[in-house]
Amino acid sequence: MLALEDLHVHYGRTPAVRGVSLNVERGEIVCLVGPNGAGKSTTLLAIAGAVAAAGGTIRLDGAPIVGRSPEAIARMGLSLVPEGRHVFTQLSVEENIRLGAQMRADRAEVEQDFQRMLVEFPFLKGRLATTGGKLSGGEQQQLVIARALMTRPRLMLLDEPALGLAPLVVETVYRILRSLRDAGLTLLVVEQSTHRALANADRLYVIRSGAIALHGRSADLDEDAVEQAYFGYARTASG
Ligand SMILES: Nc1ncnc2c1ncn2[C@@H]1O[C@H](COP(=O)(O)OP(=O)(O)O)[C@@H](O)[C@H]1O
Ligand SMILES: [Mg+2]
């Protein structure tokens, strides 16, 4: 569904992404995991068309998308949930959800989708008139996922959805992401935690200094090997 080949992105003269190749198949959760500054957010922004690629190709269902506008890429079925959640704190919860559907003209189906969000995220039901800023961090993360779902994406990109959340809330968020995957959605999720990536992704890519250091199926990867790739050194063998 999504294929990156030799993607390069620079900020001015500084390279941030240096030849990343990865792919995401329909119906899987893929994690892009790496330390702070590795180039994870830049990779997602380049896929969504929000930063320009300096080289390489990005294909969505086979169609090259480098150079297309973020709006055009969104219309192809891609939705980005950026880092930091971006709830509109002064707007009501309902307005926040409905913002996701502002590009859609199919009113009856938007209404169905809105009702579905209240089933999918039951806590939203009693909070529709509350301003977004009054929700907890975990509730805000679920709200932005609901907003993104209102665009009817086929592919969802999430940038550090677990950031700043308590462990139990992180588990709730990932349970939602896994159930979306089970319902047929395709997800590319940026993570800083190798543990969470291994626990939740079907496959993962470790990115360090703008390049992929290791990739594979979570079930096949050894946690120590993932950490070595992540930190960029070989640990002293123990035992
Ligand atoms: N807007 C920007 N201008 C200049 N440099 C940036 C900008 N955004 C990120 N960078 C740099 O690009 C590199 C990759 O950043 P980023 O993609 O945000 O990494 P990550 O999401 O993995 O933490 C880092 O060295 C970072 O300092
Ligand atoms: Mg980032």
CATH number at residue 106: 3.40.50.300
Please give the tally of structural domains in the chain: 1
158, β-bridge pairs: 81, 189
Domain assignment of residue 29, given as a range: 2-231
pLDDT given at position 234: 61
Residue 147 in domain: yes
Residue 239 in domain: no
Residue 190 in domain: yes
Residue 82 in domain: yes
92, β-bridge pairs: 131
Which residues, including other chains, have CB under 8 Å from residue 33's CB and lie 6 or more apart? 40, 190, 191, 192, 193, 194, 197, 204, 205, 206, 207, 226, 230
Residue 236 in domain: no
pLDDT given at position 239: 37
Which residues, including other chains, have CB under 8 Å from residue 236's CB and lie 6 or more apart? none
- Taking residue 189's Cβ as centre, other Cβ atoms within 10 Å add up to 28
- Taking residue 93's Cβ as centre, other Cβ atoms within 10 Å add up to 27
pTM > 0.85? yes
Shortest-distance atom of ligand 1 to CA 34: 22
Residue 92 CA, ligand 1 centroid: distance in Å:
32
Shortest-distance atom of ligand 1 to CA 45: 17
Alpha carbons 239 and 227: distance in angstroms, whole number: 18
Answer yes or no: are the C-beta atoms of 114 and 128 closer than 8 Å: no
Q: Which residues line ligand 1 (CB under 6 A)?
A: 11, 14, 16, 34, 36-42
Residue 14 in domain: yes
Residue 139 CA, ligand 1 centroid: distance in Å:
27
Alpha carbons 77 and 151: distance in angstroms, whole number: 8
Residues of the chain with pLDDT under 70: 234-239
Residue 66 CA, ligand 1 centroid: distance in Å:
19
